[in-house]
Structure 1
Amino acid sequence: MYINYISMVNLRNHKQTQVDFGKGLNVLYGLNGSGKTTILEAISLCGFSKSFLRVSDSSLIKQDENFWNITLNSRTDLDVPYKINIRLNGNSKKQISSTFGDNLLPKDIIGELPVVILSPDYKSITSGSPADRREFIDKILAQSSKIYVDDIIRFKKALKQRNNLLIKGKTEKHFNHQVIEPWTEILINTGSSIIKKRKEFESDFQSTFQNIYKNVSNGKEEVSIEYLPNGVGELNTKSDKEEIKEKLREKFISAGNEEMRRGTTLFGPQKDELKISINSGVSREFASQGQHKSLLISLKFSEFQYLKEKKRETPVVLLDDIFSELDIERAAKVLELVTTNSAQTLITVTDGETMKKLMPNNANCNYYRVENGTVSQEKI
């Protein structure tokens, strides 16, 4: 997949910006606050329906304006055109249309433009809480499976309803416990699908992650991932959905009184963990700063390979301000990974000249100067 054109109107400091991108490497350079990352946010919105930064949609509206609009044109590996338009008016819901229709929901566009993002904001994947690693898995699986997206949405809605009823049951003397059962069944059905898909992900992802890390670190350390489902005990890749459902059902029965006492659901996929280990130690406890960087690079390029294989489509790679965080050796490894995989890559940096020195001699690269929300392509 590659993006050949993007238009942004009233998005942060971009009043009206149009950019044509090349198939290879595209470097966006300029001072902090010039609007480089906003371009990547616009692509993220077209891929995931939201910015990769933790901000609200309405906060992206340019000051003194009341809407933003993004139009993106792209082509698949088979040269099939894909176009998407997203518009937000004030605090209303986003209006989404694409090659596949109008009045689309956010879930409808996820995975149509496969995107892999590497940003310093993702440090928490290796050093943060289990929720950060669940989000990492979910974003990958959501891009590769529409069914997974639907299961996650249904699970979260049922979990919210069930927890509300458990809180109510905790305070009401004559509460009818049977009203919880339909929501429990939804959690069992969708939860078993989520757990099975996450377990399969661990198996599919493992060797790619280990091989890429070996390349990035020059074989200095051993790494692994381990999916730890909450509430169903140990699983293997042959565990089927029915087996997982029965384990969940048994757990709900045994934990019923305790859940009512506490007023919350005590186990399930919402509490899963993805353990990332380096030299047999948990990364968030034992990894050095340099190892965290190598782990994140390896996880993200493993994500790229996973999506490329599952979707049979080359994802677009977005590298937001990562080269300021990397030493020369790791920076060279990142550029080697994107060039050898023939991925269209958008890179944001503050210093274009330094980036030119890092580029491999055979790299097909375009440079764009970004200044106060305007973009101009550099002629080389």
Structure 2
Amino acid sequence: MWLRNIQISNFRNFSHFELEFSSTLNLFEGGNAQGKTNLLEAIYCLGRGTSFRTSTDQIMIKWNRDTLYLSGEGEIEGNFHKYEFSLSRDSGKIRRVNSHRVSIGNTSYWLWMIVFSARDIRIIQAGPGYRRNFLDELLFFTSPGFSHIRFSFNKVLSQRNALLGLAGEKGGIEDKNIEVWDSQFLELGSRIIYLRLMILRKLESIFCDIYRELTGLNRSCQFIYSCSFFKEKNNNYSIEDIKEIFSSQLKKIRSKELKYRVSLIGPHRDDFKIIVSGIDQRIFGSQGEQKIASIALRLAEVALVREIKKEQPIVLLDDVTSDLDPPRERFLLEALKGKGQIFLTTVDLSRFYPEFLSDSLIFHIENGKVTHGKR
């Protein structure tokens, strides 16, 4: 899987240009605030139909223009497809593949991309939503139909919360329609949790190996799924176990949900812990340890996608190496080199060892202008 070229019009600080890429290493070099991350974002937008930086689409349009347009050719399983993405200030975004309009959520023609950035440390440091989104994004890659399951669950959750809110306004009088939504809530919620547990078990062993290699330390690593309705530290529940416990707990907290007018348990409330040598990295890990854990997590994600999909995802690295010491920087680059297409941004080419540079197609970016690649 790789992106052969891209045409960009009115995206962020870019006016218009076209680029041809290498199927292996592509290096974007330039000073701060010149457009390197914007170019990564445009590539991601073209392949996935959304941004990895913002949920406000309109800010991606160049400030003095009304529309943006992206197009390019991407290869999946030996076949090239034409991708197009457009966005107008007056209407929503449109995604086309081979001239046919497709929904943003249609994963069948996604160019699978994994982004490494300094913001990844939030997966370790920040609230549960970041870790839930990390797991669910991985399941989008690896579990056919998961995107539909989560979309359906979110609709059911919204409707259920609305009914709980109405019941609360009536003094806690339960709407019989809540029971109808409960069955879907239980079914979809249990499937999401089960799939998360499965992927977490697979991810854990890969993460442990990578973490040890990255640090040079023989430390134990464990992922623990923190569910809102079962407290045991058990990642091996069957889907039947999950449904049974979920149903039982949902009945027990009905009065509390009516009081607070919101769904209090379910996959939307869950989390997972990253434990290294018995230490919860979110709470007790140092900044440096959390950084290493976030990189190991992304590398484990890449390795697991390769293993399950039998396809190399496209990897985007946004100035990730600048905070690493030379041995860890080299480990990261060697772990990715020769295993699919890579796009990497940097402010300093001298950081990279000569063999890496000689294999790279290098682009210079300055003030929204891109100088065509050279080796």
Structure 2 equivalent of residue 33 of structure 1: 33
Distance (Å, rounded) in 1 between the aligned partners of 2:50 and 2:118:
18
309, 314, 317: which is aligned to 1:316?
Answer: 314
- In angstroms, what is the RMSD of aligned CA positions? 2.0
Structure 2 CA distance for partners of 1:160 and 1:227, relative to 1, 3 Å: same
Structure 1 equivalent of residue 335 of structure 2: 337
CA contact (8 A) 1:111 1:142 kept: no
CA contact (8 A) 1:31 1:371 kept: yes
Structure 2 CA distance for partners of 1:214 and 1:111, relative to 1, 3 Å: farther
Residues 16-55 of structure 1 aligned to structure 2 (within 5 Å): 16-55=16-55
Post-superposition offset of 1:213 = 0.8
Post-superposition offset of 1:249 = 1.6
CA contact (8 A) 1:167 1:263 kept: yes
Structure 2 CA distance for partners of 1:121 and 1:110, relative to 1, 3 Å: farther
Structure 1 equivalent of residue 182 of structure 2: 184
Structure 2 equivalent of residue 81 of structure 1: 80
Structure 2 equivalent of residue 372 of structure 1: 367
Q: What secondary structure does 2:253 align onto?
A: helix
Distance (Å, rounded) in 2 between the aligned partners of 1:265 and 1:359:
56
Residues 1-380 of structure 1 aligned to structure 2 (within 5 Å): 1-76=1-76, 78-99=77-98, 102-109=100-107, 112-173=110-171, 175-234=173-232, 239-339=237-337, 341-352=338-349, 354-355=350-351, 357-360=352-355, 364-380=359-375
1:296-326 alpha-carbon deviations (Å, 9 max, x no partner): 1110011001111121110011000112222
What TM-score comes out, normalization by structure 1 length? 0.93
**The 10-residue stretch of structure 1 (125-134 or 320-329) with the greater mean CA deviation from structure 2:** 320-329
Structure 2 CA distance for partners of 1:323 and 1:344, relative to 1, 3 Å: same
Structure 2 CA distance for partners of 1:224 and 1:72, relative to 1, 3 Å: farther
Post-superposition offset of 1:183 = 2.0
Distance (Å, rounded) in 1 between the aligned partners of 2:171 and 2:284:
49
Show structure 2 runs of 5+ residues with no match.
none
CA contact (8 A) 1:46 1:109 kept: no
Post-superposition offset of 1:175 = 4.3
CA contact (8 A) 1:47 1:109 kept: no
Distance (Å, rounded) in 2 between the aligned partners of 1:55 and 1:31:
26
Post-superposition offset of 1:164 = 1.8
Amino acid across the alignment from 1:96? R
Distance (Å, rounded) in 1 between the aligned partners of 2:173 and 2:101:
41
Amino acid across the alignment from 2:366? E
Post-superposition offset of 1:329 = 1.9
1:352-373 alpha-carbon deviations (Å, 9 max, x no partner): 3x24x43545862111001122
Distance (Å, rounded) in 2 between the aligned partners of 1:91 and 1:295:
42
Distance (Å, rounded) in 1 between the aligned partners of 2:32 and 2:308:
36
CA contact (8 A) 1:11 1:62 kept: yes
Show structure 1 runs of 5+ residues with no match.
none
Amino acid across the alignment from 1:193? R
Post-superposition offset of 1:8 = 1.2
Q: What secondary structure does 1:107 align onto?
A: coil
1:247-291 alpha-carbon deviations (Å, 9 max, x no partner): 222121111111001111111101111101121110012212221
Amino acid across the alignment from 1:303? E
Amino acid across the alignment from 1:69? Y
Distance (Å, rounded) in 2 between the aligned partners of 1:284 and 1:274:
10
Amino acid across the alignment from 2:65? E
Post-superposition offset of 1:51 = 1.1
Q: What secondary structure does 1:284 align onto?
A: helix
**The 10-residue stretch of structure 1 (262-271 or 233-242) with the greater mean CA deviation from structure 2:** 233-242
What TM-score comes out, normalization by structure 2 length? 0.94
Structure 2 CA distance for partners of 1:360 and 1:279, relative to 1, 3 Å: farther
Distance (Å, rounded) in 2 between the aligned partners of 1:98 and 1:220:
47
Amino acid across the alignment from 1:138? D
Post-superposition offset of 1:29 = 0.7
Distance (Å, rounded) in 1 between the aligned partners of 2:242 and 2:179:
18
1:145-166 alpha-carbon deviations (Å, 9 max, x no partner): 3411011111111111211221
The number of aligned residues is 375
CA contact (8 A) 2:225 2:234 kept: no
Post-superposition offset of 1:91 = 4.7
Percent identity for Structure 1 against Structure 2: 27
Amino acid across the alignment from 2:5? Y
Structure 2 CA distance for partners of 1:72 and 1:229, relative to 1, 3 Å: farther
